[in-house]
Chains A and B, each alone.
Chain A
Amino acid sequence: NAGVTQTPKFQVLKTGQSMTLQCAQDMNHNSMYWYRQDPGMGLRLIYYSASEGTTDKGEVPNGYNVSRLNKREFSLRLESAAPSQTSVYFCASSEFSGGAADTQYFGPGTRLTVL
């Protein structure tokens, strides 16, 4: 039982390059999330998918796109990377986004640097 896995762990991009961050969960959770973590800012929600086939914008969606490929997988794409997107990216999943005690399970993160 691996929980939430993310690839890659580290990535360096040049401004304007594109890349996709991959996330998968094996807990049969309905909901999945992408966050970014910046110093002094806590975690900010980029996009989430409440259930397979749906996606919604979070607090900071500009410059990103997502795909809920199936129930297990939720990818985050940067079409044209900018230095402001240098951050640590976390994927998370939960059984159901809406429950009063909904616990989120996090992956180990991807550290992205955009030069």
Chain B
Amino acid sequence: GNSVTQMEGPVTLSEEAFLTINCTYTATGYPSLFWYVQYPGEGLQLLLKATKADDKGSNKGFEATYRKETTSFHLEKGSVQVSDSAVYFCALIITSGTYKYIFGTGTRLKVLA
């Protein structure tokens, strides 16, 4: 079936450290891939997306590349800030057949000053 797998958290980093949050997926067809971020006490908001293989999504210094050969969409940032502390969700959308939007379980990031 269709699914999204994220690395377990929490991930704790010092400010200015390099961030990677792994995400792999299983899907029929050619899904679009997303990263959403949830700040404390808020709903999710879109961080970036990619709709086809080799596309790179980017926003606010975060990047992720759609890798069809490894079915992955890892989130990276070169230098994290305390304000990046949040929960990050990988997600995919299936558009063939029944519409489905599938979220991963989320990875909590804590950045220390």
Contacts and interface: CB of A to CB of B under 8 A. Distances in A.
A and B form one complex:
yes
Contacts of B104: 42
A106 B43 CA distance: 5
A102 B44 contact: no
Interface in A90-115: 90, 92, 97-109
Given A103-B46, A103-B49, A109-B43, A40 B105 contact: yes
B51 interface: yes
A69 interface: no
Contacts of A43: 44, 89, 103
Q: Which residue, A40, A42, A97, A106, has most C-beta atoms of chain B within 10 A?
A: A42
A101 B89 CA distance: 16
Contacts of A100: 32, 51, 93, 95
A108 B93 contact: no
Contact of A97 (B34, B46, B99, B103): B99
A21 interface: no
A104 B101 contact: yes
Number of chain B interface residues as a range: 20 to 34
Number of chain A interface residues as a range: 20 to 34
A59 B45 CA distance: 21
Interface string B70-109: 0000000000000000000100010100010101111000
B44 to A, nearest CB: 5
A50 B42 CA distance: 24
B101 A45 contact: yes
A105 B46 CA distance: 8
B43 A102 contact: no
B61 interface: no
A23 B76 CA distance: 34
Given A97-B101, A102-B93, 11 more contacts: A41-B105, A42-B105, A97-B99, A100-B51, A100-B93, A101-B49, A103-B34, A103-B49, A104-B44, A104-B46, A108-B41
Interface of B: 4, 32, 34, 41-46, 49, 51, 89, 93, 95, 99, 101, 103-106
